[in-house]
Chain A
Amino acid sequence: MTVLAPTRLDDAVAALAADSSLTVLAGGTDLMVAVNYGQYRPAGVLSLRRVPELHDWHVEGEGSAAHVVLGAATSYTTLLDPALAALVPALAQASRTVGSPQIRNTGTIGGNLGTASPAGDTLPVLVALDATVELASASGRRRMPVSEFVTGPKRTALAPGELVTAVRVPIARGPQEFLKIGVRNAMVIAVANCALVLDLGRRHLACALGSVGPVPMRDRDAERWAEARLDWDGRPALDHALVDDFGRRMATISRPIDDHRATAAYRRHAVEVLARRALARAWVAT
């Protein structure tokens, strides 16, 4: 088994082109568990640890076109950086619920995307924010919405020889919420989670649910329904009937399953509560 540790992105891409059987190692918090337990034996490993471009983040564009560009190897701890948290609050909130300090220091946003677990905590946030993923291969670079990149449980649109290099997250003006249910506040894989974003400039609401379907679940009809009923000008106290109804609509679009962490019925109930609570909290924060 070869362990490659290139120091330039071009070299990493070239290595993958030369040998698409290489397993990409970002933080290792998923991969090494499988390796330790003998469930997976990589033919070769391409470590991204030493590629500086993948660890950087910066802001591009201005006003309504502004977005944060996060290198794929950005750790959850970096996502908690106050400067970054101010731009994408829900991503920081989600990151804070991931694992422990040890896991957050190691795990990366690119790894969360590459693993594409239905319980991946950043995925509902990225989907709610209409984030796009940047991919690179020997034949060039391309972008696609995160909602298209994650195609199923632990399945992505990544082509052989292709690498996730960055995530582009639009900066929205308005409150954001991320809520998660698990048996502890730390070290827990989501039983259900929910990201909600209010963009006051565009009068736009987005809500995505995680761990209650094969991919993060969103529904533009439910979002439009709420957008049309919110009083964006007056911003009075939120109408409880509206919030309750929104929660029920989101629960309806969820497609949870029974597993060892929870029953489908519990998850459906949980996301109803989470969506309701996320909207109520976000609206109060306007």
Chain B
Amino acid sequence: MTGATPTPARTPDADAGAVYQLTVNGTPLTVEGSRPTDSLLHVLRDRLGLPGAKNACEQGECGSCSVLVDGMLVCACLELAEAAVGCEITTVEGLTPVGAEPGDAALTGAVLTDVQQAMIEAGGVQCGFCTPGFIVAIQDLLGRVPEPGPLEVREALAGNLCRCTGYGRILAAIERVVAVRGNGR
């Protein structure tokens, strides 16, 4: 880009009906009819038909809307959707099971990841509202730290609230994933 004029993410005209593209789970998707102040969370859920990220606090307190933006774990409610143009966004719907190719439509959503499977087996899902956020956060943690210690796990999940207070079984699910992945190595 040259010159002193920044490139707008879209033309600065109407207050509604902005059209832009977001790359979600490897696929460029066109966003139409969203309000310019919409968070990524609203656009994912209400415009793009991806309701996995849950809407609860809208202030970054609860972690129910956790997604990955350019590989970083973030709260989708705190991302301005239009400012995420050009970023790689991964939602819980786009997490791929071990061995599957990213973006493999036949597998995505149809086969559980090992984290999802372990959450079921360990009883880590009660009402289920916080579960997608936890899944994304756990996937992020274990991707960076394959064998986290107990305190490391607690610190990594401090931003995800479970109001059924089922933390014990969520922690057990993580232990299960770590054990299974460890056996596979």
Query: Is B truly associated with A?
Result: yes
Interface residues of A (CB under 8 A from B): 1-8, 10-12, 14-15, 25, 27-29, 31-33, 35-37, 41-42, 44-45, 47, 49-50, 77, 99-103, 105-106, 184-187
Instruction: Judge whether A37 and B158 touch: CB under 8 Å.
Output: no
Residues of B near A27 (CB, < 8 A) are: 78
Among A5, A29, A100, A101, the residue within 8 A (CB) of B9 is A5
A7 to B86, alpha carbons, bound, how many Å?
A: 12
In this complex, which of A7, A50, A105 has the most chain B Cβ atoms within 10 angstroms of its Cβ?
A105
Judged by a CB distance under 8 angstroms, whether B156 is at the interface is: yes
Among A14, A35, A42, A100, the residue within 8 A (CB) of B6 is A14
Residues of A near B79 (CB, < 8 A) are: 28, 32, 106
Residues of B near A42 (CB, < 8 A) are: 37
Among A4, A14, A187, the residue within 8 A (CB) of B159 is A187
Type the 1/0 row for B49-71, where 1 means its CB is closer than 8 Å to any CB of A: 00000000011110100100000
A201 to B156, alpha carbons, bound, how many Å?
A: 37
Residues of B near A184 (CB, < 8 A) are: 158
Question: Known: A33-B59, A103-B60. Is A47-B78 also a contact (CB below 8 A)?
Answer: no
- The interface size of chain B toward A, counting residues with CB under 8 Å, comes to 39
Type the 1/0 row for B24-41, where 1 means its CB is closer than 8 Å to any CB of A: 000000000000110100
Instruction: Judge whether B15 and A1 touch: CB under 8 Å.
Output: yes
Question: Could you give 7 example pairs across A and B, Cβ below 8 Å?
Answer: A3-B36, A11-B5, A33-B58, A36-B39, A36-B59, A47-B83, A186-B155
Instruction: Judge whether A186 and B1 touch: CB under 8 Å.
Output: no
Interface residues of B (CB under 8 A from A): 1, 4-10, 12, 15, 36-37, 39, 58-61, 63, 66, 72-75, 77-80, 82-83, 85-87, 137, 140, 155-156, 158-160
Q: Residue of A at shortest CB range from B77?
A: A36
Residues of B near A31 (CB, < 8 A) are: 80
Question: Known: A11-B4, A101-B158. Is A3-B80 also a contact (CB below 8 A)?
Answer: yes
Question: Known: A11-B4, A185-B158, A187-B159. Is A105-B85 also a contact (CB below 8 A)?
Answer: no
Instruction: Judge whether B72 and A105 touch: CB under 8 Å.
Output: yes
Question: Known: A36-B77, A101-B156. Is A1-B36 also a contact (CB below 8 A)?
Answer: yes
Question: Known: A10-B4, A15-B6, A50-B86. Is A101-B59 also a contact (CB below 8 A)?
Answer: no
Instruction: Judge whether A5 and B7 touch: CB under 8 Å.
Output: yes
Shortest beta-carbon distance from B56 to chain A in Å = 12
In this complex, which of A2, A36, A47, A100 has the most chain B Cβ atoms within 10 angstroms of its Cβ?
A100
A187 to B39, alpha carbons, bound, how many Å?
A: 21
Instruction: Judge whether B158 and A186 touch: CB under 8 Å.
Output: yes
Instruction: Judge whether B82 and A3 touch: CB under 8 Å.
Output: yes
Instruction: Judge whether B58 and A102 touch: CB under 8 Å.
Output: no
A36 to B81, alpha carbons, bound, how many Å?
A: 12
Residues of B near A187 (CB, < 8 A) are: 61, 158-159
A27 to B4, alpha carbons, bound, how many Å?
A: 24
Instruction: Judge whether B158 and A100 touch: CB under 8 Å.
Output: yes
Shortest beta-carbon distance from A114 to chain B in Å = 16
